[in-house]
Every structure is written in C-alpha cells, then in structure tokens.
C-alpha cells in the first residue's frame, strides 16, 4: 500500500539529470573528502552533512511563500 501512495505522489514530478551546479557540488565534496570520482553520492554528501541543492531551493521557496502569506492586507507586497 505505501508504494502505491508514493507512486501517486511522484507521478507528476519531472525527471531530469542533475544540473551542472549539483555536479559541481558533488565533485567539490569528493575532492574535500579525497575519495574517487566514482564514489557514491549519498555517502559523500552525508560525510559532510550536505543535502542535494534542490532540497535547499525548495525549502527557500516554501519559506518565501509563507512569508508572503503572512503579509498584511494593504501592504505593498500583498496581492489579491
């Protein structure tokens, strides 16, 4: 049953390759750790306490959205 729910959630999400910024982030993490370029991604990020850049981007979008929702009616940032 959980697999079905997960599939329903992820069905509409686009799939794509990692952007150049994420590849650069991973290569920098690997260089800092001194591991081979074919080392796995998640352990490499985990040793440095990093997340994929997309997680930070989505978190910032959500924070900004709640910030805009908290604006008072009549302020310059409020839009109807």
| Range of lowest pLDDT (52-56, 62-66, 74-78) | 74-78
Among the residues of the chain, which ranges form H helices? Answer: 2-10, 20-33, 41-48, 53-69
Residue 4 confidence (pLDDT) = 54
Q: What's the CA gap between 68 and 61, in Å, rounded?
A: 11
Q: Over the stretch 20-48, which tens digit does the pLDDT of each residue have?
A: 888 888 899 999 999 998 999 888 888 98
Q: What is the mean pLDDT of residues 45-52?
A: 86
| CA 26/CA 52 separation, integer angstroms | 9
More confident residue, 66 or 12: 66
């Amino acid at each position: 049953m959980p697999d079905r729910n997960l599939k329903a959630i992820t069905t509409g999400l686009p799939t794509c390759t990692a952007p150049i910024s994420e590849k650069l982030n991973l290569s920098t993490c690997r260089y800092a750790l001194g591991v081979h370029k074919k080392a796995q991604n998640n352990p490499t990020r985990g040793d440095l306490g990093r997340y994929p850049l997309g997680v930070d981007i989505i978190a910032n979008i959500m924070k900004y959205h709640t910030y805009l929702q908290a604006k008072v009616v009549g302020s310059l940032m409020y839009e109807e």
